[in-house]
Structure 1
């Protein structure tokens, strides 16, 4: 991460640092500045593209930055190697995790306009280990089978869908870290059925609260074998007709 020049800021780096301290994830001032710079760019770009419905700065810090980094313990506990953020949108959780952990990261985004914005973020903030790919997960998997040690997914779809999207991108032994609110028992069961077909198995499930009281779950699946079904399926099938 290169040292960025000062920029006109809405999100205060010290506020970011304090919020992460309160969540039990201390970061350096340089890391906090990079996280704040990214957030400022998202908020500014949100006026011309749909990146987030959250416009209040304090709420943004908690529900995007803190929420992304709150599962850093799961991210660093997995196998070493590159990470992919599937359906990253404005760069959450991939960019905060890359900033905090130093892990190489591919931001996978299907919308060309958002992918172009993310390329600007990577260059402007100075994130040499982060790259952007403009493609759907199923299309990218055709050329990237087993390339990643960690996949992260936040706000993309139900567990059965995200398990299927992640499985072909992961090497055997790789982890999927899925961020959820409070999934129902039915969603968890569907996710487990899809995981079995995709060569995945649930490894851990940690429930926690953000400082404001928002409920979250970090669910980790491990790829323990190759899928018993042919993956990837056609784009869109994982959401339209989930395996679970």
Structure 2
């Protein structure tokens, strides 16, 4: 199958992300595996190639606007779903050591297939809920960077993500354009969990007029042992 790659390559160039034929081929194999698996399980509502390039691949990779990714880092992609942003980040920045974490085992099994098919090393997919995984010593405060494109309010997301981040590391939440009110409401949660709000970085997706925001939070002190609270609580009753 042939694909129109001009917009993808232009988007990568705008983000100053180097690519090769081999890497483009990895993205294409990933796309084909994603759309094929999507016929039997719900991975994404976005399936047209150009839309996946814009709204999944380039959106995932836009993190370069907010964080220097050209170095070795331990990265957690929490609530990774179909592998975004973790797998595009791994293809583009092979130095990153990435853990993809998701609460649905079927998705994790799919991601393990993708990792194997793309011959990626230094990346694993694990099954588990954030509230349970964050208390395990092999994960708690072990990551330089936690990223999440999961749909949840910032207060809840901070409770899921910050316990995984080491002091001095960062949590970046991918959000749609308008986030000011949400950021304000999450202020107490971020502070209680040991984080400090650094910045909201707004941008427009390459080759589109879609506005997005990154919320960058730095981990300043250790998260109290009582967080995250038990399963489901952070979403039902966010820290206010």
TM-score norm. by structure 1 comes to 0.89
Shift of 1:198: 0.5
Aligned pair 1:130/2:126, yes or no? no
Distance between the aligned counterparts of 2:8 and 2:25, measured in 1? 8
Given candidates 120, 124, 144, the residue that maps to 1:149 is 144
Q: 1:79 to 1:171 in 2, by over 3 A?
A: farther
Cα offset, 1:162, TM superposition: 1.2
Matches within 5 A, 1:35-46: 35-46=27-38
1:204 Cα deviation after fit? 2.2
Distance 1:170 1:46 in 2: 32
Aligned to 1:190: 185
* Residues 12-62 of structure 1: CA deviation (Å, up to 9, x unaligned): 666533332244434233222212221221111111111111122111110
CA displacement at 1:183 relative to structure 2: 3.4
Between 215-224 and 68-77, the greater mean CA deviation after superposition? 68-77
- 8 Å CA contact retained: 1:146, 1:170: yes
| Cα contact 1:17–1:26 (8 A) shared by 2 | no
Which ranges of structure 2 fall in alignment gaps of 5 or more residues?
Answer: none
For the pair 1:140 / 2:133, whether they are aligned, the reply is: yes
1:106 is matched with which residue? 99
Task: For 1:105 and 1:165, locate their aligned partners in 2 and report how far apart those are by CA, in whole Å.
Answer: 17
Runs of 4+ displaced beyond 4 Å: 9-15, 77-80
CA distance in 2, matches of 1:173, 1:80: 15
Equivalent pairs counted in the alignment come to 236
SS of the residue 1:126 aligns to: coil
1:63 to 42, 51, 55: 55
Comparing 28-37 and 131-140, the one that deviates more:
28-37
User: 1:118 aligned to 111, 116, 122, which one?
Assistant: 111
5 Å-filtered alignment, 1:210-229, equals 210=205, 211-228=207-224
Unaligned 5+ segments in structure 1 are 1-8
Q: Are 1:204 and 2:199 counterparts?
A: yes
Provide TM-score, normalisation by structure 2: 0.91
Assess, with a 3 A threshold, how the Cα gap between structure 1 residues 79 and 42 changes in structure 2: closer, same or farther. Answer: same
* Contact 1:72-1:97 within 8 A present in 2 as well: no
